Structure 1
Amino acid sequence: MAGRIPQTFIDDLLDRVDIVDVIDRRVKLKKTGKNYSARCPFHDEKTPSFSVSPDKQFYYCFGCGAGGNALGFLMDYENLEFPQAVENLASTVGLEVQREPSRGGAAQERREETSKPLYKLMEQVAGFYKHQLRHHPQRDKAVAYLKQRGLTGEIARQFGLGFAPPGWDNLLQAIGETDEKKQLLMQAGMLVENDKGRIYDRFRDRVVFPIRDQRGRVIAFGGRVLGDDKPKYLNSPETEIFHKGRELYGLYEALQANRKLDRVLVVEGYMDVIALAQHGISYATATLGTATSKTHLERLYRRCTEVIFCFDGDEAGRKAAFRALEAALPCMEDGRQARFLFLAEGEDPDTVVRAGGASQFTALLQEAQPLETFLFDSMAEGLDTNSLDGRARLSKLALPYIRQLPDGVYRQLMFQALAERTGLELESLMRLEAASPPPAPNFAPDAATEHNVPGPGEPPPAEPGDYGHFDEGELAAQPRKRTPTPQTAPGYSNLAQSAIALILHQPEIARTVKTASLEALSGDDVNLLRDLIELVQRRPESNTGMLLGHWYGTPEGELLSRLAGQERLIPSAGIEQQFSDIMHSLADRLPRESKLAQQVDKLKLTNYAQVSDLEKQQLREMLQEKQRRDEERKRREP
């Protein structure tokens, strides 16, 4: 899709939808007074703390702090990126999404112009392969192969399996009837051109597996050969719409099968994913011929708290598992888990689940090693940990990996676990940790560096006050959440935040207030208050949901969500007078404090030896007055 989505369109869309309807279609709401409540869909809880306000078109969870407008809810609940959430919401009210010229420049516009036809083409290609599986004269060997692997017609339909017939140009003849279509097939990686200029189908005599993105769009294919050709498995090349280091096979199907994913299983092949799904284990995914990357894992951890890696128990499988561990370390925030399951030699999830059923495979999952066990056992391999030298070596090998963990309780527990394994006092180990950290040793010499490379289309930092940075080609898989670090001038923060909360509670109170009195006040909260007032005055029809949308994905947005969530504590009666009193307090404070500060500064800049006794006495009195006012202000502020 070309271009940015105008802010005016976003506001109009939010004005037309009812957040209660949007959420109630996905989470059953119960009327509680003037609002609606439910158990929060974003964290586990027994008592409902998730509240939806129809008046303000805003939701907030008092348990986990999740909050926002209808678009924000769709993004989090449906795992959508911003443009897709807009399209989804717009379709419910019959609106066509408007676009402005892209900020991404000519290259960005060309990329957006080419991507939409590619999606349409790939759906057409998927339909062609599915038709061949049902009707081609040589389909029997493909059907026989799928039955041999124990797959039913229902699971084949669920995953959209198809058949690429033998022959050089079946797809080319069926779909590439024009030069334009032929060029698109080339761009999509579905055709290959040899050194002599001959063009032919990439996939021939293979069972075909469509690869879908998180929206369910076909973006690539994988193929398993039916004859003796090599390679046994073949994937589409990277294209405008397909990036191997970001996508996971089966993730879309897992999201469709599970409203809420508690865990995700990462396996090595298409057939493993499909066989597990057929036996009711519908949360398996597979990487696409690449090592598991940090990008993969961040995508998974946004949807669940536990990732289990399943690998062969041979040397190659353990190397692959360790590469996955390396990618996981920076992602291991508190509350997240990573475990590792190694199958017996010659076994894979497909063979295990077909032989023993879901119960046997689920029992095996319970035996998966926690990340810390796999890490320390890998580091200790070949070492005599009963000796001082062996324990010292273990400490030296493991420390660089633990340093890659994000700050938090889990990181501290890992240091404690290493201390117990080495016999070191925790304080001694922490002193070693505080030293200059060396680079992590290359435990897996064949490790791919792919997981250290940012995914394509990595966005710049979000810009407040505009949805323009949510351009599809520039958008990360999910807006980054950052903890605000305000630098608010002392004495203004509580008053400014109280005023902000009142505006979020009842935006119309800001329509006529003058912001000139705030111009000379400094601080992040005061600046945000001023911007919020000006926004309401530019768009008087704004409700809480619309106001939050202007700062979505920014530190200010997180502060606004928190303040909006506290609004239920503010009584409706007299809110306008309360807001007026706060604004007067801010305005009245400035001239008094500015004059006093100017006098103090003037005397401070004077050479103290040249200051008269009277001026010294005046300085002492002014400093005492300033201190008295500061203490009085602290007592008065809410």
Structure 2
Amino acid sequence: MYAGGGGAMAGRIRDEDITLVRERTSIAEIISETVTLKSAGGGNLKGLCPFHDEKTPSFTVAPARNVYFCHGCGQGGDAIKFLMDAEHLTFVESVERLADRAGIQLRYIETDSAAPRTRPQQGQKQRLVAAHAAAVEFYTGQLAAPGARPAREFLAQRGFDRAAAERYGCGFAPDAWDLLTKHLRQRGFTGQELVTAGLARESRNGTLIDRFRRRLLWPIRDLTGDVIGFGARKLFDDDDGPKYLNTPETPIYKKSHVLYGLDQAKREIAKQGRAVIVEGYTDVMACHLAGVPTAVATCGTAFGADHIGVLRRLLLDTDQVAGEIIFTFDGDAAGQKAALRAFEEDQRFVGRTFIAVSPDNMDPCELRLAKGDLAVRDLVARREPLVDFALRQVISRFDLDTVDGRVEAMRRAAPLVARIKDREKRPEYVRKLAGDLGMEIEPVQRAVLAAGNPSGQAAAPARPTRAASAVDNPQSMVEREALKLALQVPVLAGPMFDAISAEEYRHPVHIAVRDAVAEAGGAAAATGGAVWIESVRDACADLAARALVGELAVEPLRLDGEPDPRYVSITLARLQWGSVTGRIQDLKSRIQRVNPVANKDEYFALFGELLSLEQHARALREQAAGGL
């Protein structure tokens, strides 16, 4: 079991309940909410690792055993461990999240008593999420109140009826200083929890007041659908606050990682291989309702590298599979600036990136209201490559009728062409740029090459090395296969595997894993799955062995089809044969060093042992006939 157990807990969760959570949880369902998974053969799934940046998928999920492992960074484990690492939860919080999902009532053992309890004391993250859920209920109820008429009119004027408001959980913060705070305090939440959640703040006289007042609200959800914050729009002229006010940074709300609407758009993004980036909450609503279900928006911050990381995993954006990103910005100066900034970040994408700008400089919400749903779909369909837009914007700043203007435009545009990630497109864009500038190709080509000179740039970081053992010899390979059988199909391999001691293994990390299998109770007593694999991992004496358990748990066996007793017998016979032949060589070396006259008894004892080992080796070789 993982160390810790949640500092907020008064006791620990009963072991049998944790086992039940592991058994009833589908790890593929949990991970697919964050990472797009595709079949990798052998029943396994693959995707881009959510724990390190990569372009080629090395993150493997084994649904049959409910475990995952990344061959790039070495992260691995079960669904509990995935939530701990992906969402920064404690062990207890992860178990509670999965138990709630599976409908399992957890029981706890108090630290000062052996009596179990059934009422969970939630961790901080769960408390903050629960507070937001209660706040959504409160705010949506307030939207129907007489004082919320301006909020309802705002939505109606932008083409959103009651059904749309309900779909997106729109609400209203009433004209009161502490109505929500009092409501949530009555629901059992502490003042400190409300401040930490960003729902309340301290007033000048030290009392707690609501953060949002007299505003239209949109709940902001994470990938799993939990509300983690709010976006609030000003409605009244005498409101001296900003046009949009968002939840501040909290333990559960990090604006650089959040995209509004992603919980509703994620499945279509993965299905279509496309994400549409818009600027506001109403734009997301308009796009979804108009038939562009892949639209998402940032929440009070610029689109950045962390947002890219979130989308790349959903798009499965790799060297082999290209995701499509479409930015929709206003055609005004601010929108153009945002588009150029997006181009800078775009070079982190492998996928194709486009921009869609309305000819009338209208955002998607305005466009839907003025020209209907079809116009919004057409806006996305008429997208153009972002690099084309960026080049056009740069060139438009200069007077191309003058030599100085053309040369300066070339100098400013050349770095954009040099940064195009698809190298095969660069020569075409050199020719296009030369034509747009009215210049010869050669000077433009020289400018692009100079701009792309890598001198002075930092070298790319090396790919993380695997924590697992080497597989550079047949004995190491067969040891890995034997350990995979014990981890993946212990019911089948158990008795035969347990009968072979750790002395038959040569690689030190393999020996450590074999010892961990024994420490966990032996393969013969295991039923398999994530519970068994985690028990072996927990029994490992060092980090290298723990990492290897995770890797072997998802690595396909070296055969076509399902393993059977014959395959287990062949594998374990080869394991022993490799070990025995090694001992035979050692024994022959010892015999050569013994004087048969001076040490006759020792010589014949060693010789007898050699004959016995050679006979054993012949039997193993016959048993191992077949091939891996």
Q: TM-score, normalised by structure 1?
A: 0.66
How many Å apart are 1:358 and its aligned residue?
A: 3.0
Other structure's SS at 2:455 match: coil
Matches within 5 A, 1:77-156: 87-88=97-98, 91-92=101-102, 94=104, 96=106, 113-134=123-144, 136-156=145-165
Name stretches of at least 5 consecutive residues in structure 1 with no aligned partner: 27-40, 53-58, 102-110, 403-409, 441-479, 601-631
Q: Could you say which residue in structure 2 is the equivalent of 1:315?
A: 333
Other structure's SS at 1:224 match: strand
Letter in 1 for 2:503: A
- Structure 1 distance, partners of 2:392, 2:14, is 54
- Structure 2 distance, partners of 1:192, 1:310, is 35
Letter in 1 for 2:366: T
Superposed CA offset, 1:334-379 (max 9, x none)? xx33322223464101011223333322222123233444555566
1:247 aligns with 2:258: yes
- The change in CA–CA distance for 1:536 and 1:362 in structure 2 (over 3 A counts) is farther
- Structure 2 distance, partners of 1:371, 1:534, is 58
CA RMSD between the two structures: 5.1
Matches within 5 A, 1:303-452: 303-304=314-315, 305-330=323-348, 332-333=349-350, 336-344=351-359, 346-374=361-389, 393=411, 397-398=415-416, 401=419, 411-413=422-424, 435-438=454-457
- Structure 2 distance, partners of 1:222, 1:574, is 62
- The answer (yes or no) to whether the contact 1:265–1:307 under 8 Å persists in 2 is yes
- The answer (yes or no) to whether the contact 2:67–2:554 under 8 Å persists in 1 is no
Other structure's SS at 2:347 match: helix
- The answer (yes or no) to whether the contact 2:200–2:211 under 8 Å persists in 1 is yes
Other structure's SS at 2:569 match: helix
- The answer (yes or no) to whether the contact 1:171–1:201 under 8 Å persists in 2 is yes
How many Å apart are 1:428 and its aligned residue?
A: 12
Superposed CA offset, 1:290-316 (max 9, x none)? 111211121122112332221112222
- The change in CA–CA distance for 1:115 and 1:502 in structure 2 (over 3 A counts) is closer
Superposed CA offset, 1:38-92 (max 9, x none)? xxx834xxxx98665xxxxxx5589x9954136459979x998696588446753
How many Å apart are 1:541 and its aligned residue?
A: 0.9
Q: Could you say which residue in structure 1 is the equivalent of 2:230?
A: 221
How many Å apart are 1:495 and its aligned residue?
A: 2.6
- The change in CA–CA distance for 1:599 and 1:289 in structure 2 (over 3 A counts) is farther
Other structure's SS at 2:259 match: coil
The counterpart of 1:562, out of the listed 528, 543, 555, is: 555
The counterpart of 1:580, out of the listed 557, 560, 572, is: 572
- The change in CA–CA distance for 1:145 and 1:259 in structure 2 (over 3 A counts) is same
How many Å apart are 1:164 and its aligned residue?
A: 1.3
How many Å apart are 1:264 and its aligned residue?
A: 1.9
Q: Could you say which residue in structure 2 is the equivalent of 1:12?
A: 19
1:494 aligns with 2:477: yes
Superposed CA offset, 1:480-520 (max 9, x none)? 998778644544343334434544354424222201232x4
- The answer (yes or no) to whether the contact 2:17–2:106 under 8 Å persists in 1 is no
- Structure 1 distance, partners of 2:394, 2:591, is 66
Letter in 1 for 2:528: N
- The change in CA–CA distance for 1:164 and 1:91 in structure 2 (over 3 A counts) is closer
- Structure 2 distance, partners of 1:7, 1:176, is 31
Q: Taking every aligned residue pair, what percent have the same amino acid on both sides?
A: 23
1:163 aligns with 2:172: yes
Q: Could you say which residue in structure 1 is the equivalent of 2:37?
A: 42
- Structure 2 distance, partners of 1:291, 1:587, is 60
- Structure 1 distance, partners of 2:23, 2:188, is 43
- The change in CA–CA distance for 1:321 and 1:138 in structure 2 (over 3 A counts) is same
The counterpart of 1:517, out of the listed 475, 489, 504, is: 504
Name stretches of at least 5 consecutive residues in structure 2 with no aligned partner: 48-56, 69-77, 112-120, 316-322, 435-440, 539-545, 593-620
Q: TM-score, normalised by structure 2?
A: 0.67
Q: Could you say which residue in structure 2 is the equivalent of 1:591?
A: 583
- The change in CA–CA distance for 1:12 and 1:186 in structure 2 (over 3 A counts) is closer
Matches within 5 A, 1:203-222: 203-222=212-231
How many Å apart are 1:267 and its aligned residue?
A: 0.9
More deviation, 158-167/531-540: 531-540
Q: How many residues align structurally?
A: 516
Q: Could you say which residue in structure 1 is the equivalent of 2:303?
A: 292
Other structure's SS at 1:325 match: helix
How many Å apart are 1:272 and its aligned residue?
A: 0.7
